[in-house]
Amino acid sequence: MGLQLEPAIQDILAKVREIPDVQVFETEREAETSLTYTDETFNPYIVVTFGAPVRAAYGRNIVSSRWDINVMWMTAICVAPIASMARSIRDQVNDKLTEFVPTDAGPLQLSGGANYGSANDLTDPVRYVSGTMFTFRHNLKNDISW
């Protein structure tokens, strides 16, 4: 497959979308009108972002750098009207994605540690945020025809 990241990204997004009653956005949340509401408060949502590939320090191919293993990362920012709900959604993301194996990749592993809970009380309604981060190896299939 070589350097085709999109299948792995779509696999991960599909896995996150298995979490019930949560909207999932890629990269950023669309305009305010894209949120759904119940009883005058917004429903929780997740914003998933993906980083660009970084060439791994190991796993270099002797034929071409196109077949080198890359390290990828992704974050999931869980937003809810209640802090405990944001943490619960984060835990569901962790459960769904830990050791999940997308196309042409290795298992996702919890990573980071810089994610911490926060609240945005500058706008109404208050949004509580809890995030998580994963790394995974990509470009594992070597489909060179000999």
Q: Is 144 inside a domain boundary?
A: no
Q: Where are the beta strands (DSSP E) in the chain?
A: 23-26, 37-38, 41-42, 45-50, 54-55, 70-80, 109-111, 118-120, 127-138
Domain that holds residue 85: 6-138
Is residue 145 situated within a structural domain? no
Q: What is the CATH number of the domain that holds 98?
A: 3.30.2000.10
What is the percent of the chain where pLDDT is above 70?
77
Domain-embedded: residue 53: yes
Position 77 in a domain: yes
How does DSSP classify residue 105?
Answer: B
In degrees and rounded to multiples of 5, residue 110 shows phi and psi of -55, 140
Check residue 114 and give its pLDDT: 59
pTM for the whole structure: 0.82
Pick the residue with more confidence: 138 or 67? 138
Q: 82-86, 122-126, 141-145: lowest mean pLDDT where?
A: 141-145
- Indicate whether 1 belongs to any domain: no
Assigned domain for 127 exists:
yes
Within-domain flag for 146? no
The answer to whether position 23 is within a domain reads yes
pLDDT in tens, 33-67: 577 777 778 899 999 999 877 766 665 556 566 66
Q: How many domains in the chain? A: 1
